[in-house]
């Protein structure tokens, strides 16, 4: 199911860099790895298997979509518990001290110099790579729509199941999100319009930094984790998203 990376580095993995598709796929929370130089963050191994460490299933879906859509894809190489690339450098949650009730001991003890070092090592290279891919496409006269892929937990804390299969987060610019949601619903998918999170107030750093200032079409997609927890589910939902997105990307109204 996985393509061989065009570039594979520890902080960012780039797939299909020369892909001819109009989408750029981004997976900010692809991995639950922690850099060896940081250690185990003071956490037991089991915590690194939870959603607090990464977006479960999102990386595999991203890789398969990259193959199906001939789209460049960039995946961050480390756990968001070490550093969350979808947060601005000055965001206090960039290096979380606590996540969903779990205290991260190594982060509590971090000083300003340590914070700067993590940003330089694990934040800047990822976003430099995204900017480079976008710049290269502009040079070649290729279009670019940014699709940011994430996953969400099936249950709320009160043990109420989240009904949505796919969440679509968007704000002012609905060029991509609105027809995408309509197409998903027509395909029988249970869609959350700005659920289980909202993009009305914040899209996260990645889209706000790379897509919005450049006026690029964009959407943030959340997949429910129980649906993409195994290979069969990952292949299925990558196929659903690719099938629905492809016609949208050829619609001239998207690029108007």
Question: Can you give the residue ranges of every domain in the chain?
Answer: 7-255
The pLDDT value recorded for residue 187 is: 96
DSSP assignments along 139-184, one per residue: HHT---EEEEEEEE-SB-TTSPBP--SEEEE--S--TTHHHHHHHH
The pLDDT value recorded for residue 9 is: 58
Q: How far apart are CA 95 and CA 115, in angstroms?
A: 8
The pLDDT value recorded for residue 45 is: 87
At residue 211, the 3 state secondary structure works out as: coil
Residues of the chain with pLDDT under 50: 1-8
Name the β-bridge partners of 220: 148, 169
Q: At what angle do helices 177-186 and 231-249 cross, to 10 degrees?
A: 120
Class of domain 7-255: alpha beta
The pLDDT value recorded for residue 160 is: 84
Residues 6+ apart with CB under 8 A from 59: 27, 30, 31, 75
Contact indicator for 61, 222 with CB cutoff of 8 Å: no
Q: How far apart are CA 104 and CA 96, in angstroms?
A: 7
């Amino acid at each position: 199911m996985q393509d061989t990376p065009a570039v594979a580095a520890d902080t960012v993995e780039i797939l299909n860099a020369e892909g001819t598709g109009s989408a750029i796929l981004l997976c900010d929370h692809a991995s639950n790895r922690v850099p060896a130089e940081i250690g185990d963050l003071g956490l037991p191994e089991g915590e690194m298997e939870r959603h607090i460490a990464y977006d479960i299933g999102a990386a595999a879906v991203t890789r398969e979509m990259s193959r199906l859509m001939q789209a460049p894809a960039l995946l961050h190489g480390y756990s968001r518990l070490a550093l969350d690339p979808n947060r601005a450098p000055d965001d206090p949650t960039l290096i979380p001290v606590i996540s969903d009730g779990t205290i991260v001991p190594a982060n509590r003890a971090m000083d300003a110099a340590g914070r700067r070092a993590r940003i330089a090592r694990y934040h800047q290279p990822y976003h430099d790579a995204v900017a480079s891919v976008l710049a290269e496409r502009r040079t070649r006269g290729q279009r670019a729509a940014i699709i940011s892929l994430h996953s969400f937990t099936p249950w709320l804390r009160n043990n109420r199941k989240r009904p949505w299969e796919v969440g679509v987060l968007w704000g002012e610019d609905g060029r991509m999100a609105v027809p995408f949601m309509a197409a998903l619903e027509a395909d029988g998918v249970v869609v959350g319009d700005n659920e289980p999170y909202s993009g009305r107030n914040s899209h996260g750093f990645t889209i706000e930094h790379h897509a919005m200032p450049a006026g690029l079409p964009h959407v943030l997609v959340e997949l429910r984790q129980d649906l993409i927890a195994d290979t069969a589910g990952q292949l299925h939902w990558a196929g659903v998203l690719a099938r629905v997105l492809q016609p949208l990307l050829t619609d001239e109204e998207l690029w108007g």
